[in-house]
Chains A and B, each alone.
Chain A
């Protein structure tokens, strides 16, 4: 630049326009730099936002995968667990009658005061516990008595024995030990009484209370009475049923529709209408599909509320356009020479498509299908409208039973009053959901890389 400038000014007398250009160069180059810098900043901010989102959720959620519990020597005292023999199937007895007797026996076991067993065991590790019965009763979370009940039902022979068991502590103890509550708060604002805090601290120091990996988070259904044992199992099964329905309905139908539109459809008004329709459906807000489900599936067809079956149908309709569009673009990318070769050798049009074009399109179709399923997995708004936000304390055993879904469980947990405990637990649920979605997307990317054919 400098040489140009000197030669211009020495050899020729520079025209005013030239002078103007030379003078403005500095400014223009500065603008160039600024513009470039603005672009880099935008990219930087976007990356920062992604990082912020993930760091935040992971730092909050990861600790919730470990939970405090107490290791107790539970003595199944025959004086407390006073129950009759477990019924056995007698010769000549009908299965219904046996089932009835067994049910009566199980409810008898359910009447046993298992809290007493827990408290007796606690007294062994807390010497001054007898003076503070109320505090003592609040150490182990209330759901664990059912765990003891299930142990007795599974194996009545343990009555009279002593077993070393790891029981979850109350959610507030977990909050206190993890430091998720301000310890300097005055007593009346603390969830734990001073006595309990003293016990908990010393038990933790002795190693009786430990922070272990929380299987409850994965194995238990949701719970409101025993917050520490609330888990994702119910929501996970609900989501699984819905994804199965989406895979069984949306994927084959979407692929069939795409094959028809791309390979066979005549160019007429009807085909145009279908195409415009699909493009618009892809952009319809998801909540509108929820309204459709509420009014048609539940209002007209009288299908049950909150059932994964209805949720699956709604999500299938929502995913259909995604699958169709992905499949069509894959089919479009397959060169016509493949079809022409098949037709030239005497194959019918159907044979050409199904024997030669479709196998080549399968990686692309699978990628599209997986992305559609992942999208359906994360969707919650339409599910709220068909009643899936109701609290369900059991794991659904069929697609027609009441259930919730993973994203809806996140919605329910974030609204729980015990914020100190559930903020972390919600983040943990989000990590599980994101993990599933990232796995699905990773699978899609892998499939594309592994099997993609470039023409």
Chain B
């Protein structure tokens, strides 16, 4: 009896209870006229349904959360003492036993005690399933009967239903907070584990990034496995270099597009061109990465050759230019909104004094819109810093402290991907460093976003 079929049974129960409750309330009201009832008949139905379904549902959740641990304890307790004292890990033992119980193939011949334990496990699981079913049935039936009996015309069924609904809505809206808490807790926890291997100062101010592998030197005993240097600075400089190039591409283009769209373009042009440029924002970043790798990179390398420069095909420049293309729509749409919000009186004043349109824009509109535009740029910058796939494919993945845009670099995001998708042990500093990097990234983007939001909000209030 798996959880899915239990849920289906509960849904059927819900439908039955709903019908029963509705019919009883109709009957109490005297058939055709339900005006004597406090609530509408379907409220009574819903109330009975909730009483019949919610308690068993919670029991099911609790059960599937607690029962595996209880069963494991029972099975482990039943094992012969010499097995328990052999020093093998409980989890390894349990995995083998549960594989046996589900007729999965296991390596090597199964010992007698293992087969016994597997049978015991199977019996326990069956018992637990039956017990759960019985318990759910009793509680559900009880809920149904009691609430069914309680139906009176004066019963405030609607209030009960609405309270349950409010609770659901409230729970859903706390998911966002739970997610943030989850992000912070998980990353802080793993980061602290990482700092037990590596000193924070070595991480934040280290200038070399060479984590090696978690198994390097362990086999021959020459190293302890936690060797390697985890300096953040080369990665941070790579990130800033790529994001800086991206902004250099995107700010002039995005801003000029926004100005043209807001101030000059006829409505027809605006209505067709704006969605086309916004298509750029919807394209998956892996597509940009591929574009950078096969088109932009080789093109830039050829261009460099023509000019007598050595530009690598995968370099900070390649990744930065393509990322710049990606964030054009962020800057152009946000700035467009902000420029159109500048009050018309400011423009009229300037034009009335004899300024040309471009003078009005440059000397009146843009200064007025500046805080908002800065906010937009900061949001785009945080997007660029957190971007992953373009840099994974096109930045060259070479963690070195360089300011030369024609060289290959590595970024924080690339390194997170490399460290977590390699063959490293999950508990080694080589893997844990990904969480320290992630936390750094999270904090940087969070600060940028908060500053940007505060600036944009201040600006909005100014003209409202």
Contacts and interface: CB of A to CB of B under 8 A. Distances in A.
B329 to A, nearest CB: 8
A215 interface: no
Nearest to A256: B172
Interface string A250-264: 001110110111001
B8 interface: no
B173 A385 contact: no
A31 B358 contact: yes
Contacts of A43: 256-257, 260-261, 265, 273, 277
B463 to A, nearest CB: 19
Given A285-B388, A288-B183, A256 B356 contact: no
A387 B416 CA distance: 13
Interface stretch (B75-83, B142-150, B214-222, B435-443): B435-443
A280 interface: yes
Interface SS of B by simple majority: helix
Contacts of B168: 256
A325 to B, nearest CB: 11
Contacts of A74: none
B162 A348 contact: yes
B359 A287 contact: no
B180 interface: yes
A284 B442 contact: yes
B180 A281 contact: yes
A50 B417 contact: no
Contact of B420 (A35, A45, A385): A385
B22 interface: no
A291 B187 contact: yes
A451 interface: no
Contacts of A285: 382-383, 385-388, 413, 441-442, 445
B41 to A, nearest CB: 14
B293 interface: yes
Given A291-B186, A378-B284, A284 B445 contact: yes
Interface centre among B173, B177, B190, B388 (most CB of A within 10 A): B173
A142 to B, nearest CB: 27
Contacts of A375: 282
A444 to B, nearest CB: 10
B182 A292 contact: yes
Interface stretch (A150-158, A201-209, A223-231, A294-302): A294-302
A331 interface: no
B177 A273 contact: yes
Contacts of A53: 280, 283, 287, 291, 325
A53 B356 CA distance: 37
Tell which of B182, B332, B359, B389 has the most Cβ of chain A within 10 Å: B389
Interface string A105-118: 00000000000000
Contacts of A256: 168-169, 172-173
Given A49-B280, A256-B169, A291-B187, A381 B328 contact: no
A150 B434 CA distance: 45
Q: Size band of the B side of the interface?
A: 35 or more
Given A35-B358, A273-B177, A374-B282, A57 B165 contact: no
Nearest to B172: A256
Contacts of B285: 378, 380-381
A296 B260 CA distance: 47
A281 B175 CA distance: 11
Contacts of A378: 282-287
A296 B190 CA distance: 11
A296 B186 contact: yes
A265 interface: yes
Given A285-B386, A380-B389, A389-B421, A321 B176 contact: yes
B256 A42 contact: yes
A317 B181 CA distance: 12
A315 interface: no
B362 A414 contact: no
B276 A32 contact: no
A295 B283 CA distance: 28
Contacts of A284: 183, 386, 442, 445-446
A40 B260 contact: yes
Interface in B237-292: 252-257, 259-261, 263-265, 273, 276-277, 279-280, 282-287, 289-291
Interface in A18-38: 21, 28-29, 31-32, 34-36, 38
A433 interface: yes
Contacts of A56: 291, 295
B393 A414 contact: yes
Given A32-B357, A253-B172, A348-B162, A50 B389 contact: no
Contact of B170 (A260, A277, A294): A260
A348 B257 contact: no
A288 B426 contact: no
A46 to B, nearest CB: 5
A320 B446 CA distance: 18
Nearest to B269: A43
Interface in B330-389: 332, 354, 356-359, 361-362, 379, 382-383, 385-389
A320 B166 contact: no
A286 B169 contact: no
Interface of A: 21, 28-29, 31-32, 34-36, 38-43, 45-47, 49-50, 52-53, 56-57, 60, 252-254, 256-257, 259-261, 264-265, 273-274, 277-281, 283-292, 294-296, 299, 317, 320-321, 324, 348, 350, 374-375, 377-381, 384-385, 387, 389, 407-408, 410-411, 414, 423, 426-427, 430, 433-434, 437, 441
Given A39-B256, A39-B264, A280-B449, 17 more contacts: A28-B359, A39-B257, A47-B276, A53-B291, A257-B172, A274-B174, A280-B446, A280-B450, A295-B189, A295-B435, A320-B179, A350-B165, A380-B284, A385-B434, A414-B289, A433-B287, A441-B282
8 contacts: A32-B358, A43-B265, A53-B325, A256-B169, A257-B173, A286-B386, A380-B389, A430-B287
